[in-house]
Every structure is written in C-alpha cells, then in structure tokens.
Amino acid sequence: MVPDSFSKAAAGQDWRSDLDSALADYAGRNWQGREIFLAERFEAARREIARWQAFANEGAELPPLAGAVMTVKACFDVAGWTASCASRVLADRPPAQSSAPLVRRLRQAGATLLAQTNMTEFAYGALGVNTHFGTPRTPLDPADERIAGGSSSGAAVSVARGYADFGLSSDTSGSARIPAAFCGVTGFKPSRGRYPTGGMAWLSTTFDVPGVIARDAALCRRIDTIVTGDTATPALTAADIRLALPAGFGAAFDSEVGQIFDACLSALRTAGVTIVEVPLPDLGESARIAAEGGVIGAEAYHLHSNHLAEALDKYDPLVGSRLVKGAEIPAHRYIGALRALEACRIRFDAASAGFDGFVLPTVPMLPPTLAELADEDIYLALNRRSFSLAEFANRLDLPSITLPTGAAPVGLMLTGTRGADRRLLSIAGILEPIVRITGLHR
C-alpha cells in the first residue's frame, strides 16, 4: 500500500512560494567558510516543484513525496554530480553516470532534489569540521559560531533552515543523529541492510548505514515505507511504551544537557511512558571493543590505502593523519573485535528484553564553537565525546532516532531493539510532541 501523498498543498500551502522563500533566505546569507551545499540545481528544482503544484491544483493523484524537497550528502552518487565526499582527493573524479539506488527510489516517489550537501571529509568525524570545504554552523546559535555537527553537517542545516524537508545522509557512529540534534531536527539511523547502499561511499563496512535527517518523525516513517515497502504501523499509545534508562551515564552529561534530559524524562513519564533505570553494560562494552579493535580505522585505511599512498597531501589534515594510523592495526585485533561485538549483541538483546528500547541524550554536550576546535587535541577529544552515546546503535546494530527537544541544540535519542525499525518510528511519532518542552529557538 502506498502511503498518502506528501501534500502541503492540501493544508493550503504553496510549494512554489515555500521554495522561493527558502532560496531567497539562502541567497541572503553569507556562506563563506560555512558552506552547506557543494552542488545545486535550484532552477531545475523550481520547475519541478511548479509541475507538482500544477498537478496538485488539478486534483491529480500524486506520488507519496510529491512536493517534498530533498538534499543528498556528498557520499552518494547523483547522476551528473561528483560524489567527492567533500574531499579534494576526489574533487576531479568524473561525475556519476547514474544515481545511487536509494536516491533513485526517493526521486521516483516524487521528491525534488535541490542540492548536494557538505560533510566532514569522508565522513571521518562527528563535528562537521571541514578544513577545505567549510564548516557549517547550527541555526540554533544566534552568534552563528557553533558547529552544526557531523558528519552530515550540510544535510542537517539544509533541513533546519527550511531549505529541504529531508536530507539523505549516512551514519557510522551517529553521523545523521548528532547534527540533527545540534540543529534541532529529527535524524534516523535504520538497521543494517534495511536501506540499499549501492552508490554510497563507505567509511566503515561494518558500521555504516544510510540515514535520514528530516523535519519530523512522521516524514522519517514515510520515507522508510517508500524505501522498504514496510507499512506496519503498530497501534500504540504512550502507556504502551516501555523504555530502559541505562544506568551510570548521567555523570557524562553537560549540566544543561542533563537538565533538558531530566525534563524530557519527566514529561514522558507524565504522559504515561514507563521508564525503568537498568544496567546495560554492553553499551559501554561495545564501544570499548570497537575502539580497541580499531574497527573503523582498519576498514577506513583499507578503503583509502591507494589514495593515501598517492595523495596524502590533499586530505584534510584532521582526517588524513588518522586514516594513515589504520595501517598499524593488526588483523588479529580487528577480527577479534568483530567476534566480540557479535557476542556483545547477543548479551544486549537478552538484557534489553521486555523493553521497546532505551533512551539517552543524543550528544552529552552542547555544540562547541569552531574556534574551540582550533587545537587538534581538543578537537579529537570533543569529537570522541560527541559520538560517545550515539555510537552504541551502530556497534550493536540497532535502529535509533533523535528527536528535537525544542529547548536548545540538544536531542533526545530513542534506540530500539534489533530489527524493530517500524516500532521505533511509531514510538518516535508519539513521543516527539511530548519532548518538545519549549518552543524551538529558530
């Protein structure tokens, strides 16, 4: 069954004027050094939206994403554009001859493609810093100096600024959810294998998945239906939802993050959600195993070894030096980590039985300013801290979604049980309005 069409027109809105207003806002801002788009098709998008508007006005039956505007992260192939991964290393590669299957599926569903979005080079970083192509800033910072987060930095800003309804992204350790949280929007990481990965540049073949950053959880669920054909919509109320609160993590949160998280928990409990604090030691254990086993480093080095040998000087200095270190990871340690992670997943599934998932802040800190990250040691420490909660979903292969709290660049993260993507998306739709505890600062 095809879901109802994406129809802002049905609510009396005008897709054409919405896009014109968005692009006028974009044109009126100074993006130098904080670029969010690496390629664009603004005029083609205007013509496309005008056609959908005409069909809507005529009462025609529309595909499910007609009227929706999308952006695509620069690690996905789009016909006619170079998937540079925001790196000078790939800047001269030929444009893609065809689009990634996931891009094609969304376009066939009626989505209008607007632009290719900036990112941390090769997705190797969670703060969105890009020395060569610019570092986007979160719209939630009036001073316009706090970073948007990464690696899907441009995608999150494109949605938060209202230039797009959703952005196609990727997620290795939180790369869709971290920038969504920092920018006050919704970010979804599906289970591995749920979305097609053809035409996507990998950082880690073990942890990478395509992701979605969108204006709300309902749109994430609509996109999931289009991509997978899964129309399951569990009939739930807040009183049916049972979430685990992992014990022992509160001390890691910045004070403002902790206060907002506590307020969200209180609002959820008042709404009837059951939240039980329980020890889930395999969360931290999975992160330790992946880090000590060098899983991302080994896989990234394998993927980049030829480029590193020929063009190390073209890499972002924050990325190239770390990629090179992947050569030092012994095979026995890497293979041992993969096996230990599988055992960790089995233990976690048993420990989390009886819950719909667990709840944490998406990021334990507020987004830093770019100036704070000028020192490489500080950058590396804050980069590691930024994905310290989001990475659990990737290490254990769980669906996960961040919801905007509306109070600050702080997200509430719901991580589901194995393979229960649709149940998580349904739960997110119920809880999203509850945790918007104040008006968005946008």
Q: Quick one: which of 296, 287, 34, 38 has its CA closest to 183? A: 34
* CA angle centred on 363, ends 31 and 255, rounded to 5°: 105
Cα separation, 151 vs 174, in Å, equals: 8
175 is catalytic: yes
7, 11, 53, 265, 337 from 14: Cα distances, Å? 10, 9, 7, 37, 52
Instruction: Give 382-399 as a DSSP string.
Output: HHHHHTTTTHHHHHHT--
**379, two tokens:** 């950058």
Radius of gyration of the chain (CA): 21
Q: Is 414 helix (H, G, I), strand (E, B) or coil?
A: strand
Instruction: Check 153, 175, 352, 426 and give the catalytic one.
Output: 175
Instruction: Check 73, 286, 352, 426 and give the catalytic one.
Output: 73
State the CB neighbour count (10 A cutoff) for residue 6: 25
Residue with tokens 């209180």: 266
Residue 369, Cβ density class (10 Å: 0-12 exposed, 13-18 middle, ≥19 buried):
middle
Q: Is 404 helix (H, G, I), strand (E, B) or coil?
A: strand
Beta bridge partners of 275: 243
314 is catalytic: no
Cα separation, 278 vs 85, in Å, equals: 40
8 is catalytic: no
Phi-psi region of 144 (alpha: psi -120 to 50; beta: other; left: phi over 0): left
Q: Is 36 helix (H, G, I), strand (E, B) or coil?
A: coil
Instruction: Check 5, 84, 87, 151 and give the catalytic one.
Output: 151
Residue with tokens 């290719």: 116
Query: Which residues are catalytically annotated?
Result: 73, 151, 175
